[in-house]
A and B are shown apart, each in its own frame.
Chain A
Amino acid sequence: MKTLRRQDTRIPRRPLLWLAVALLFALPPMFGTLPSWVPLLFLIALTAKFWMQPKGYHLRSLFWKVVLVALILSLLFFSYGSLRGIEPGVSLIVMLTSVKILEAHTAREFHIMIMVAWVLCLCGFFLSQNLAIALCLLIAFTLLLVALIQFHRGSSSAFWPPVRTAGKLLAQAAPLIVLLFLFFPRFSTGFRFQIASQRGSSTGFSDHLSPGSVSSLTNSSEVAFRAEFPDGKIPTLGAMYWRGVVMWHCEGLEWNAPKNPAALPKTSQSSLRSEGVRQWITIEAHDARWMFALDWPANWPSGARLAPGDYLWSDQPIHKARRYEVTSYPEIPNNQLHSGEREPLLQLPAAISPAARALVQSWTAGKAEPRAIVEKALEFFRAQGFLYSPSPGEYGKNGLDEFLFHRRLGFCEHYAASFATLMRLAGVPARVVTGYLGGEYNEIGHFFLVRQADAHAWCEVWFPDRGWQRVDPTAVVAPDRVNLGFSSFLERRAAAGQLDNTQGVLARKLARWPIFARARLGWQTLSYAWDTRVLSFDGDEQESFFTAIGIAGRGPIFFIVGSLLVAIALLALYTGWTHLRTRACGDRIKRIYESFCRKAARLGAPRNPSEGPLDFSRRAMRLLPNDSERIRSIAEAYIALRYAPASDPMTLEQFAKAVSAFVRAS
């Protein structure tokens, strides 16, 4: 047993251990997003604590605390250049937590550490929100509960009971969590602190196309977006061109998209002859403003615009996963080119080599039609020994010539950029489109998963009679890439020995096992559900949910009070139920006798705590002579029931009756 004044005692080892494990589970989101020394120093502090704690050491001196904090602040300032923004902020919290860990040694500080750990969980969610991180933080959250419970259980050292209690608490809290999540109002506080952009470099997709910009993504299994076809109309994989950005400005092998495109007016759908394909797209946060849709979107969600070139452009940078519905048509709705628009579509870089000009002149000779020129160009790529490779190597300053006439080895961006440039040389308006091609179908969740590795670039060419038409030169060089999807394409290549990618072979073999394949699909489905059902449930979704169940249009106070009232009602029910389940069972005989004693006390014969039943009955008989007969029989029955070796159930009933009749009679 311990004294009550725990403030003076050390933190017991076991709760501290639970807390440490919880903190370890709060760490994963920090690796990779923060400078690596931040979580490392945190780990070191945690380890040091376990060395210090049994010896009774802790960070005492105010001087050293000040020095440490100053050191941390300057380190952070040195590596970020500023202390504003989410990542320096999170780093600061992590580092200050480390100092607190070194300093803490009392029970109160243990509670403070638990609170800080909860704040660290919050920080984790600011850095990343994917399902794996969420599960880690859920474990951390649960372990913090376990640490608290273990702390209040004191010295009992059993391993499982606190874990079970924490699990029970969480299970009982689950309905409340769902209730609050659905109904607790989400109003914005207005002020947003800015998240520093750190994802731009890793996603790779950009408004700038250069040799290597797409092929650098081929090893990234990061999810770009997921798409569902609610109407069940699924285009073939080869026709699944997810339109991202249209590039107009040509620099040879490099192309650029406008930084801030204008908005096209909405067109009426009646002008479209064919039926549209409806898609639900859940896009991952990428901090830029492009959005994806199948070729060619004509019906776009609010908060986005259709930019010239018929691609979607978000009004706000996409800082968190977002789900939207879009309808695409197999034709461009407004497929006209005005006289002023033609000129910029033929823009070319100043330096075009004579060889390239000569090549194009050989196609345009004899007033050839645009269609014939396209055919000749494609024939050039097909017949002149061009090869398709995800790692074509670097191209220098004269990249276009080097690619067209010497190396002839390229990835989709090389083919798209060079083809569009050649078309412009030939006087045919052309542009480059970047986006994704294909995707992986998940048969459990019925959605397509599109990864960064599916990134693709293709061309669109203007024909006077049909308007903009898609031309994909990659399809000529590597038809399988287009028809099979990128990963199947790679697999086939690897099987044919054309690819010396040995590191991925084992993983791919494993992935072909049915169990792993199912597990992977299941995980992807869960992850998709997390993104679409949980992460995308924001204020707008909540509003439409309220509309759907018919309670929209009420103020936030109504929902706060309402959800809390329902929660409290549930709690009251639960309290009552638990009380009934665990209340003192006592034995019935004792209860009945106690009620007799209470009645006797009311009549003026209270029983002394030290008095035995016989002594009491004798005294009560003297005090209450009128009831002496009853008192005697009750006392005899009680003594018989209590102390006789085997008592008759009938006696108990008679005893109960006698006691209940006791006051009524007197």
Chain B
Amino acid sequence: MRQGGSSKSSFPLAPTRSFAGLLFVLAAIWYAASSQNNAASYLLLFALMSVFLVSIPRTLLNLGGLQATAESIKPAFAGQEVSLPVEVTNESRATRYGIALTLPDLGDAGEHIDEIPAGKAARTVLRFPAATRGEHQIGRLHLTSVYPLGFLQVLKQLSTPQRYVVYPKPAGDQRLPAETARSGQRSSRRELGEGDDFAGVRAYVRGESQRHIDWKAVARGQALMTKQFTAESDGMLYLDLAAVQLDDLEARLSQLALWVIEAERARRPYGLRLPAAEIPPSLGESHLHGCLHALALFQ
């Protein structure tokens, strides 16, 4: 999903740090020129002033016609980096130079794009740390530029409706529960889904993982079929928040996240039981992300 940012208007020009330096140099030249009555120095003063003045419209217009679109963001674990792919399109008829992208709400993350020719686009990836678990909003995206002389900074503020999810940081030192929650007579039931034992084929549904497509059948000219496996569930592994013996909620969620990953790696079908929701046991990437997502959003 791609979403375009909409721009907000606020006064776009601000002096940079080197502007103070410029003022100081101008004052020094003025003082020297007037105390010596030195026409050549006056000329230098006016040249510097005029070049600065002429650079204002250039800086001001350097972001004209620029549109930034943020693309969808992959979830990340807390403590890791979130990557936000951004495409900056130059819809104006002039090349734009020296554009910086920053996320003011998310620390000092930033990227530089040196040049975007007229009518072209450039892509870059903004990286910023995923601080806390949960679903967050990107908030503002700032396009800034100090081109050409660096004395003034022009700002274009875009708000991106983009949201991203941060999973709890997988951590904890408790072992993955070996004991499974058996529930009486259902003990011998075999779960269809992703497991180790081949159980037959069924018609392929778009969007499913291609890993289990029966490619040999395809080669024989048959339709796409998905191989089905069953996991030997000598019992179901239910990861229960209430069962984690820790005081801190975040630590418990972190422990659950670690277990989910470990179970997936061990290919033991696992389910998740939270006070408000329950995810039945299964295996696979989408199941993994579903569980982590639930952990991330847990209130």
| A interface residues with partner B (beta carbon < 8 Å) | 1-6, 108, 111-112, 115, 118-119, 121-122, 125-126, 129, 134, 137, 141, 145, 148-149, 151-156, 165, 169-170, 172-174, 176-177, 180-181, 184, 186-193, 195, 319-320, 534-539, 567-568, 571, 574-575, 578-579, 581-586, 609-610
Partner of A584, one of B34, B35, B65, B114: B65
A191 / chain B contacts, CB cutoff of 8 Å: 35
A189–B32 alpha-carbon span in the complex (Å)? 9
Contact A172 B54 (CB under 8 A): yes
Task: Determine whether the beta carbon of A586 is less than 8 Å from that of B91.
Answer: yes
Take A137-B44, A180-B50 as given contacts and tell me if A152 and B150 are in contact as well, using a CB distance cutoff of 8 Å. yes
CA distance A534 to B39 in the complex (A): 7
Closest to B114 in A: A154
Known: A177-B47, A571-B53. A145 touches B100 (CB 8 A): no
In Å, the complex CA distance between A173 and B50 comes to 5
Nearest chain B CB to A539 CB, angstrom units:
7
* Interface membership of chain B positions 1-31, coded 1 if the CB is closer than 8 angstroms to chain A and 0 otherwise: 1111000000000000110011011001101
**With a CB–CB cut-off of 8 A, which chain B residues contact A155?**
114
How far is A135 from B136 in the complex, measured between Cα atoms in Å?
A: 59
Contact of A153 (CB < 8 Å), options: B64, B124, B147: B147
B residues within 8 A CB of A177? 43, 46-47, 50
**Bound-complex Cα distance A188 to B53 (A):** 25
Cα–Cα distance between A568 and B53 once the two chains are bound (Å)? 8
Measured in the bound complex, the distance between the Cα atoms of B58 and A172 in whole Å is 11
Given A4-B111, A145-B149, are A181 and B25 also a contact pair (CB < 8 Å)? no
Residues of A contacting B149 in the complex (Cβ-Cβ under 8 angstroms): 145, 148-149, 152
Closest chain B residue, CB of each to CB of A133: B40
Complex formed: what's the CA distance from A538 to B40 in Å?
Answer: 10
Cβ-defined contact, B28 with A165, below 8 A:
no
- Contact digits for B165-208, partner A, Cβ 8 Å, 1 yes 0 no: 00000000000000000000000000000000000000000000
B298 beta carbon closer than 8 Å to chain A:
no
Task: Report the separation of the CA atoms of residues A151 and B31 in the bound assembly, to the nearest whole angstrom.
Answer: 29
> Shortest beta-carbon distance, B19 to chain A, in Å?
10
Pull 20 A–B residue pairs with CB atoms less than 8 Å apart, ordered by A. A1-B114, A121-B44, A122-B32, A122-B41, A125-B44, A129-B40, A141-B47, A149-B148, A152-B146, A152-B150, A153-B115, A169-B54, A180-B46, A184-B46, A535-B40, A582-B61, A582-B64, A584-B93, A609-B1, A610-B1
Contacts of A134 in B (CB 8 A): 40, 43
Q: Chain B contacts of A141 at CB under 8 A?
A: 44, 47-48
Contact of A193 among B17, B35, B46, B118 (CB under 8 A): B35
Chain B residues near A190: list those with CB within 8 A: 35
Whether the Cβ atoms of B93 and A583 lie closer than 8 Å is: yes
Do A186 and B34 touch across chains, with their CB atoms under 8 A apart?
yes
Q: Are A3 and B40 in contact (CB under 8 A)?
A: no
B60 CB-CB contact with A under 8 Å: yes
By the criterion CB–CB under 8 Å, are B36 and A609 in contact?
no
Asked whether A583 lies within 8 Å of B112 as measured between CB atoms, the reply is no
* Total A-B residue contacts, Cβ distance less than 8 Å: 203
Cβ of B286 within 8 Å of any chain A Cβ, yes or no, is: no
Residue B108 at the A interface, CB < 8 A? yes
Query: Do B111 and A3 have beta carbons less than 8 Å apart?
Result: yes
Return A620 CB to nearest CB of chain B, in Å: 19
Q: Which partner residue on chain B sits nearest A134 by CB separation?
A: B40
Given A3, A126, A152, A192, which contacts B97 in the complex, CB threshold below 8 Å?
A152
A186 lies within 8 A of B21 (CB): no
Whether A571 pairs with B57 at a CB distance below 8 angstroms is: yes
Are B40 and A125 interface neighbours, CB within 8 A? yes
Q: Are B57 and A4 in contact (CB under 8 A)?
A: no
Instruction: Tell which of B17, B36, B97, B148 has the most Cβ of chain A within 10 Å.
Output: B148
- B98, CB-defined interface residue at 8 Å: yes
CB closest chain-B residue, reference A151:
B150
B92 within 8 A of A: yes
Shortest C-beta distance, B108 to chain A (Å), equals: 7
> A151 CA to B97 CA in the complex, in Å?
11
Nearest CB in chain B: distance from A377 CB, A: 48
A180 in contact with B49 (CB, 8 Å): yes
B148 touches A584 (CB 8 A): no
B42 within 8 A of A: yes
CB of B34 within 8 A of CB of A585, answer: no
Question: Closest CB of chain B to A534's CB: distance in Å?
Answer: 6
Q: Chain B contacts of A169 at CB under 8 A?
A: 51, 54-55, 58, 148
Report whether A584 and B92 are in contact in the complex, using a CB–CB cutoff of 8 Å.
yes
Task: Check B110 for interface membership: any CB of A closer than 8 A.
Answer: yes
Nearest CB of chain B from residue A453's CB, rounded to whole Å: 26
For the complex, what is the distance from the CA of A173 to the CA of B43, rounded to whole Å?
12
Cβ–Cβ < 8 Å partners of B58 in chain A: 169, 578
Closest 3 CB pairs of A and B: A4-B110, A154-B114, A176-B50
